[in-house]
Structure 1
Amino acid sequence: MDQVDRIEELGEAECLRLLSTVPIGRVVYTEHALLRVVPVPFRVERDGRLVLVLLPGSPVLRLLDGMVCAFQVDRLDEGSRSGWSVVAHGTAEVVRDPADLAELLRTGPHSWIPERAPVFVRLSTELFTGRRLRPLGDPPPHGQVTGE
């Protein structure tokens, strides 16, 4: 099997499904023209938007609010040299509506630092990209076009 044949481009539905299987991802944004990457808890909402949990007073909040950013998750298996990666792109907005805040405080996602009240950021996803690297020897899915 050609190495390129192991790479599968993922559609939006599969990207959303995979996003919902992990609790932590990485928000990617710019600060002083440099890329910054911060791991944060999150969840996928029914409409495909993402809700990120940040700590109050975090400089990330000021830089994200109203800005375009990316959000990346992955799951990799070193043993089989396989896995997947998904990137969602969109605009981030700090959740300020009291009813939305109350619902998010009740239902999560939850901060890994529970002694501080979380701040929620909603990412309106506009573009998904994803790739899966199949283990060596796995045939491509039926009808799947492979390669880059």
Structure 2
Amino acid sequence: MADDRTYAAPPTRRSIELDSAEALRLLGSVSLGRIVFTQRALPTVRPVNHVLVDGAVVIRTHERAALTARTRQSHGTGVVVAYEADDIDPVSHLGWSVVVTGYARLVTDPLELARYEALLHPWVDRAMEHTVRIHPGLVTGIALVAGDPADAG
């Protein structure tokens, strides 16, 4: 039996590269992202809430978190991580995605800890005893916008 419904062609979209300042601005406009780090030589991804402070991504972790252990093992040098956040409309598929790559370190200064704890409240109901700050070494982002790719130029 033939289907008599007509379907509209999906809207065209194009990808625009964002500069690092705009990418960080967008990252600061949302509070949920994903941190990527290695665990037993394999990539590991965890969803976490964050705050952007002075250009750095700040998250909180608990004592038994794999990321806490990895940053502690780095002896202050930091652990290479990627942090990704996005805001993409599920219907139109328009929006943006940002990735920050850099070194994650445990925050130990009591004044900084107090500041970050006041700014960032975990979404889960569990003690988050540690704070991790990611200093961006590389910031990349794309915006998915409506339009014909031939229009880019």
Answer yes or no: same fold by TM over 0.5: yes
| 8 Å CA contact 2:39, 2:66 repeated in 1 | no
TM-score (norm. length: structure 2): 0.80
Question: Structure 1 residues 54, 117: CA separation in 2 closer, same or farther (over 3 Å shift)?
Answer: closer
- In the alignment, structure 1 residue 93 sits paired with structure 2 residue 105: yes
- In the alignment, structure 1 residue 134 sits paired with structure 2 residue 153: no
Structure 1: tracts of 5 or more residues without a match: none
Structure number with greater Rg is: 2
What percent of counterpart residues are identical? 34
Alignment partner, residue 9 of structure 1: 17
In 1: Cα distance, 2:130 partner to 2:26 partner: 24
Alignment partner, residue 32 of structure 2: 24
Question: Structure 1 residues 114, 139: CA separation in 2 closer, same or farther (over 3 Å shift)?
Answer: farther
Number of aligned pairs? 138
| 8 Å CA contact 2:85, 2:99 repeated in 1 | yes
In 1: Cα distance, 2:90 partner to 2:147 partner: 12
Question: Structure 1 residues 79, 33: CA separation in 2 closer, same or farther (over 3 Å shift)?
Answer: same
| 8 Å CA contact 1:111, 1:118 repeated in 2 | no
- Cα RMSD (Å): 2.4
